[in-house]
Amino acid sequence: MDYVALAAGYERMIPFAHHIGIAIREIAPGTAVAVLPDADELKNHVGSQHAGALFTVAEAASGGAFLGAFAEHLATLTPLAERAEIAYLKIARGPITASAALRTPVDEVLAALDADGKARFEVGVELHDEAGVEVGRVTVHWYVRRTAPAETPA
């Protein structure tokens, strides 16, 4: 799997995230890293990163983690972010890095998909500033369903 190409393509798949300048730095099996730039138009009334922008970079990273985990199955799956919780831990200034990882092993999700045609799982995301200080923590709850039967190996 060419994860570099996957990351480049994923940036174009999310028009809103692309619009606000989010860059997908890395996608790997079950993990992803995205960066929110330090831009005036993304700031709030106190000059820090806007809560909505922080959520967006976290959600984009969580989707990247999904993509990295299930890239070989994408033709048969429809993923949807079902809900999310976010904790804003500190004032977020400067570029913010969102690091996401699946909390459920991929084989467990695939087994649920094979058994029920649908599955739910969580992706955890940590938000850090340039100094490495954790400024936020997010859990994205994903729902995925099969849109076509899984191919059986020959």
Range of 96's domain?
A: 3-146
Number of domains in the chain: 1
Instruction: Answer whether 58's CB lies under 8 Å from 45's CB.
Output: no
At residue 11, the pLDDT reads 83
Q: What percent of the chain stands above pLDDT 70? A: 95
Q: What is the pLDDT of residue 8?
A: 87
| Beta-sheet pairing, 23-28 with 77-88 | unpaired
Q: State the pTM of this model.
A: 0.91
Tell whether 53 is covered by a domain. yes
Within 13 Å, how many C-alpha atoms sit on residue 24's CB side? Answer: 31
Q: Is residue 151 part of a domain?
A: no
36 assigned to some structural domain: yes
Dump the DSSP string for 38-50. Answer: --GGGB-TTSSB-
CATH code of residue 27: 3.10.129.10
Tell me the per-residue pLDDT of 65-106, one tens digit each, with 9 for 90 and over.
Answer: 999 999 999 999 999 999 999 999 999 999 999 999 999 999
Residue 153: inside a domain: no
**Domain membership flag for residue 82:** yes
> What percent helix, strand, coil does the chain show, rounded to 5?
35, 35, 25
Q: Is residue 117 part of a domain?
A: yes
In a domain, 152, yes or no: no
pLDDT above 80 for 148 = no
